[in-house]
Structure 1
Amino acid sequence: MMMTNYMEILMSNEPWNLIAFMVLPVAMAELLTAAELFILARPSASAGWKRLSHGLGIAAGIYFACVVAFFLLHVLPNITLRGWIDALALIAYLLGIVPLGLITLQELGVFGGPSAKRQWHHILLLIGFLAVSHVAMIFGMVDPTLSGWQPPMQQNMMNMQHDMSNMPMDHSDMGSMSSDDMNQMHKDMHSSMHEGHMSQNGQQ
C-alpha cells in the first residue's frame, strides 16, 4: 500500500515528526477546548482555566504558524503530490492555521468583543480546527492510488508494456528462429519484467 506525503512526513524521523506536527498542535487545541468548557460550566470559579485558555490561545496559534511556515518553505517545494487525496490531506492540515491564528489574534486583543462572545468564538474556532485536522488524518491514511495516481515506476512499466504491445513484429523472421532462440527470447523478457518488479518493490 502506498502512503500519502502527509502520512510519510509524520512517519519519518520517528517519533519527532509525529510529535511536532500532530501531537503537540492537537493536544494544545484539545486542552484549550477543555478549558473553554470548564469556563462555561463554572464561570465564577474558573480564574485558573481562564489564564490557561489565554496562554494556550496565544501559544497554539504561534506554534502552528511556525509549523505551517516550515511546511511551506521546506516541505512542499520538495515533494510531488500523489493525487487529489494527498493534496486534500495536506491542504486540510495547513488550513488549521486559520482557526488557531484567529484565536491568537483574539487573545492578543487585535479584535474581539465581550468576554462571553469571545468564548463562543473560541469554541467555534476550535471545532473548526479539530474538523480540518481530522479530515487531514482521515485522508492522510488513505491509499493515494485510489484517486487514480500511480507511482512513477509503475507508470513507466505500464507505458513500456503498452509500447511493446503496439510494436510491429516481423513474423517472417519468427519462422526462421530456432526453438532455442525462442526460449532465450522468452527468458530475457521474463528476466526483464522480474527485475522491473523487484526494482519497484525496492523503491516502495
Structure 2
Amino acid sequence: MNMTHYMELLAVNQPWNLLIFMAVPVILAETVAVTELYLLYTRRYHGAVRTLNRTASIVVGLYFIGVFAYLVPNVVVPLTSDGGWRGPIDVVAVVAYLAGVVPLAGIAALDLGLIGRGLKDDHARMGLHAAFVGLFLIVAHIAMIAGMTDPTLAGGVMPQQPAHGHEMH
C-alpha cells in the first residue's frame, strides 16, 4: 500500500504515534469545539464549561507547538533536504497537519491573554476563538483527506525501500 508520510507517521510505532500525533490533539481540539458551541449558544462565559474550554485550549495549543517543534527538524527538514517527499499529495498532507499549529497556538494565546486584549467583551473573544477552531478544523481535515490518499495519484513516487532517516517514527 502506498502511504503518505502523514499516514506512515500514524501507522508506525503503534499505538504510541497514533496517540501522540492524532488522538491527543484531536480529542483536545474536539473538546474545545464542542464546549465552544455551548458557550456561544448560551453566552455563559464563566463556569465549568468555560474552564474546560480554556484548559483544553491552552493544553492543545502548547501541546501542538511541541509536536510542530519536534516534526519540523526531525522529519520535514530531512525530507526536504534529501528529496524524500512522495509527491504533492504527501506535501499537502504534512504541511496541512503542521499548519494546525497556527490556529491551535492562536487559541492558546487568546486564552493566555497574549492576544485579543483589545476585544470589547467575552463574546467577541469567543468569536475569535471560534474562528481559530474553525481554521483548525479546515486544515486538520485537509491533512486527513490528503493523508489517506495514495500519493502516487498525483505523480508521487514511492521508494522501493524507505531511505534511512526518512521514516517517521
Equivalent-residue separation in structure 1 for 2:71 and 2:111 (angstroms)? 25
Displacement, 1:148? 1.1
TM-score relative to the length of structure 1: 0.71
Equivalent-residue separation in structure 2 for 1:37 and 1:150 (angstroms)? 42
| Structure 1 segments unaligned to the other structure (5+ residues) | 155-204
Displacement, 1:49? 0.7
Equivalence for 1:129: 136
1:77-134 Cα offsets, whole Å, 9 max, x none, are 3441100000000000000000111111111111212211011111111011011111
Residue identity opposite 1:66 in structure 2:
G
Equivalence for 2:154: 147
1:169-194 Cα offsets, whole Å, 9 max, x none, are xxxxxxxxxxxxxxxxxxxxxxxxxx
Q: Given that residues 26 and 130 in structure 1 are in contact (C-alpha distance below 8 angstroms), is that contact kept between their aligned partners in structure 2?
A: no
Equivalent-residue separation in structure 1 for 2:54 and 2:122 (angstroms)? 12
Equivalence for 2:67: 67
**The structure with more radius of gyration:** 1
Match of 2:109 among 105, 128, 131: 105
Q: Given that residues 4 and 140 in structure 1 are in contact (C-alpha distance below 8 angstroms), is that contact kept between their aligned partners in structure 2?
A: yes
Equivalence for 2:19: 19
| CA separation of 1:75 and 1:44: change in aligned 2, threshold 3 A | closer
The question of 1:88 aligning with 2:118 is answered no
Displacement, 1:147? 1.4
After the TM superposition, which segments of 4 or more aligned residues of structure 1 sit over 6 Å from their partners? none
Residue identity opposite 1:30 in structure 2:
E
Identify the range of structure 1 (45-54 vs 9-18) with the bigger mean alpha-carbon deviation.
45-54
Structure (1/2) with the larger helix percentage: 1
| CA separation of 1:73 and 1:43: change in aligned 2, threshold 3 A | same
Equivalent-residue separation in structure 2 for 1:44 and 1:65 (angstroms)? 29
Equivalent-residue separation in structure 2 for 1:38 and 1:153 (angstroms)? 50
Equivalent-residue separation in structure 1 for 2:44 and 2:20 (angstroms)? 35
Residue identity opposite 2:19 in structure 1:
I
Matched residues, number: 154
**Percent identity of the aligned residues?**
41
